[in-house]
Structure 1
């Protein structure tokens, strides 16, 4: 009996990862359509957790839309909460060699009483905060929420909301932020970082700081079988310390714009990349980059099919006894900085013009736009997904640049 239960749970887990990968890719394509030449960074897992919190309080059509879009409708009701709980517990384990901070909270108008069972389940599955505020005091509420988010993301995510985001009719705000810090298993040596030209997809070039190393990484070359993605493209997976977390970089050929590769990005392809990269020695040229993005989850989720919870028809009556509650604001802000040490830390270095060396091993030259994923290699869950269209730009009038 116990073995049957274990097999069932594992099948649920595999199905959950498949459906959340599909959700992740759909989100990516939605954000891509909104900003043609912009960097993108978001956390699919963190959004799934936030929606799980809302799902706990939802009924009727509100509940069904969330389960449908997230792919939970084929699971037994409630199983997804245990899966999300297990994933976040594994990622946030104190024994890990990286830091992940999820900041998820519901802020509800004062005077509305929460259902005790809802509060119990929020603590059980998400360790989440549920707080009451007076939205009529919009400036004070914005300051309170922003301070809360800063405290939960080591001050990296600031000014998530403003007073203009609230009004006297606001009743419920969903806040979602995520922070990650990890060190590369194979760190880049700062003295090898040089200025380099990065070719943008619009044909222009910018100067950036390019890191370099030769090391053992997971690498593969793939083809979509046509010319849609420009033929062959490269996939590089670089583990962080401990090897549970890694960054996967997907790079088209130099002359192929990322926009030509993006249409082929589908959920099954993510799994194919992960299963087929092989450990080998690779020369890696990777720009330092910092990406930060605030997403209006309300409009994005509505485009994907989650609409009811944002209207007066919402049924969030499992949160409170009343049925007049709906979500007026839902935002996510994600931040990622990649340097020689890994994610988030910064290292200074001199700048000398970089020259290409004789190629002895496969070479990944990320001097043009690329797609990336930060994922847990053990569970397959995707913490971040995004793209770099423009890395950190070094201006010719910068003092460091002039000293080159």
Structure 2
């Protein structure tokens, strides 16, 4: 059974004193989708030839948590950047609440765990209404700690993180992330585990050459199957993306969740396609792929990334909450708080049979010379999203520039 584990991303927000360094179906489909794409483009600019993995949903939820404590211009910047400015004030909290509740369907064939926690400095009085709303909309746990005991606090939060990600994300924080001036830390964790509806057979996996955009090649384990999937070929009409590119949507068991893979032509670098990615295009892909039989060659891949979101969010217009001009007075009676750190860490692994999936040997895969159906040959960089098919909300977004690299062996496609 193919298992996909996505351990998201944790968004940590450490709030310090100034002067010191330190969705449901009700949600319009484009409410946070544009924010998601803008986040991706910022990471793309800074990412060079590296893999990317992050959770737009995790960022939106964490920003919602901060928004509950924000006022004035700080509040306005968050609402504008995330995509809530066209809504009546406060409506977004119910929308986020409904969205996350919709994902936690007891009858779902996948596993999603959303966990939010507040770690407060001992002796600091926080607004009871703020704490009440945090519990109401985000079901956030609230714990008090002494941030001056930085090593103990780091251990406590790291343990919380491990417990909510099946121990896949470890040592996210260190004692250096806290000091006596830290006042509040918000942590948001998302865990997703799903099995393909159409599963790959491990015995069809072979060593294969993956061509990177810099011209180099690496050896990876390529999975193969022929099955019925939603598939389409698209063109940007201007040749900017190299002409026609492929979109494949692969559902997980239950079909409420899916991974969408966007693959340029072999000779076209992914960087040529990335600029055209927009929220409206994501929806166009989802609405126009058609069910048909497709041959799929997909590498096993593992993507892990820790992102400093502070600069990224500032580039998107969320600036004041990171400066001494921040107005987070809905959290406390004073106006002496600002956000000192914003970090997200995500982990994604795709295999045939889970994180430790065995590779079969001795079997012969179908020959590539007998092309009876469209082929999706992901032997070069591709873009992907994992999304809810019911709401369109994007749990994870990223790209694979280099898949899992292995040494050469005899089980490859060279003789085919």
- Quickly say closer, same or farther: Cα 1:105–1:329, change in 2 above 3 A: farther
Partner SS for 1:155? coil
Distance in 2 separating the partners of 1:11 and 1:191? 40
Residues 178, 334 of structure 1: 8 Å contact kept: no
Query: 1:329, 1:132 → 2: CA distance?
Result: 19
Q: Distance in 1 between matches of 2:329 and 2:215?
A: 53
* 1:91-143 alpha-carbon deviations (Å, 9 max, x no partner): 12222110112233332322111211111111111111232222211111111
SS in 1 for 2:390: coil
Q: Secondary structure at the match of 2:66?
A: helix
Match of 2:186 in 1: 174
Question: What are the residue-to-residue correspondences of 1:159-170 with 2, within 5 Å?
Answer: 159-170=171-182
Give the aligned partner of residue 309 of structure 1. 321
CA pair 403-381 structure 1, distance change in 2 beyond 3 A:
closer
2: distance between equivalents of 1:351 and 1:55? 53
Query: Paired residue for 1:348, among 344, 358, 377?
Result: 358
1:13 aligns with 2:23: no
The offset of 1:224, in angstroms, is: 0.2
Taking the TM superposition and a 5 Å limit, the aligned residue runs for 1:3-402 are 13-14=27-28, 17-341=29-353, 344-351=354-361, 356-396=368-408, 401=409
**Matching residue of 1:4:** none
Deviation at 1:11, TM superposition (A): 9.7
**Which structure carries more helix by proportion?**
1
Give the distance between the partners of 1:213 and 1:403, measured in 2 at CA. 17
Q: What is the Cα deviation at residue 367 of structure 1? A: 0.3
Q: Which 4+ stretches in 1 moved above 6 angstroms?
A: 9-12
Task: Give CA deviations for 1:372-396 in whole Å, capped at 9, x if unaligned.
Answer: 0000001100000000000000024
Shift of 1:180: 0.9
SS at match of 2:338: coil
Q: TM-score, length-normalised on structure 2?
A: 0.89
Q: Give the aligned length.
A: 388
Instruction: Give the direction of change, closer, same or farther, for the CA distance of 1:137–1:267 in structure 2 (3 Å limit).
Output: same
Residues in 1 aligned to 2:24 and 2:358: alpha-carbon distance in whole angstroms: 46
What is the aligned-residue RMSD (CA, Å)? 1.9
**Shift of residue 312 of structure 1?**
1.7
| Structure 2: distance between partners of 1:74 and 1:166 | 37
- CA 1:47/1:191 → structure 2, altered by over 3 Å: closer, same or farther? same
For structure 1, the 5+ residue unaligned runs are 1-8
Greater Cα offset, 130-139 or 279-288:
130-139
Residue 3 of structure 1 is matched in structure 2 by: none
**Counterpart Cα distance in 2 of 1:72 and 1:52:** 10
CA distance in 2 between counterparts of 1:10 and 1:156 reads 28
Q: Distance in 2 between matches of 1:316 and 1:94?
A: 36
Any idea what the Cα deviations from partners look like across 1:34-80, whole Å, max 9, x if unmatched? 11101000010111001001111111111111001011111001111
Structure 2, gaps ≥5 residues long: 1-22
1:351 Cα offset (Å) = 4.9
C-alpha spacing 1:209/1:308, structure 2 compared with 1 (3 Å): same
SS of equivalent residue, structure 1 residue 316: coil
Report deviation, 1:13: 2.1
Contact 1:156 1:179 in 2 (8 A): no
Checking the alignment, whether the CA contact within 8 Å between 2:25 and 2:99 is kept in structure 1 is no
SS of alignment partner, residue 31 of structure 2: helix
Distance between the aligned counterparts of 1:303 and 1:10, measured in 2? 28
Q: 2:205 touches 2:359 (CA, 8 Å); kept in 1? A: yes
> Per-residue displacement from partner, 1:256-310 (whole Å, max 9, x unpaired)?
0100000100111001000000000000000011111111122211111111111
User: Deviation string for 1:182-206 (max 9, x for gaps)?
Assistant: 0000000011111100000000000
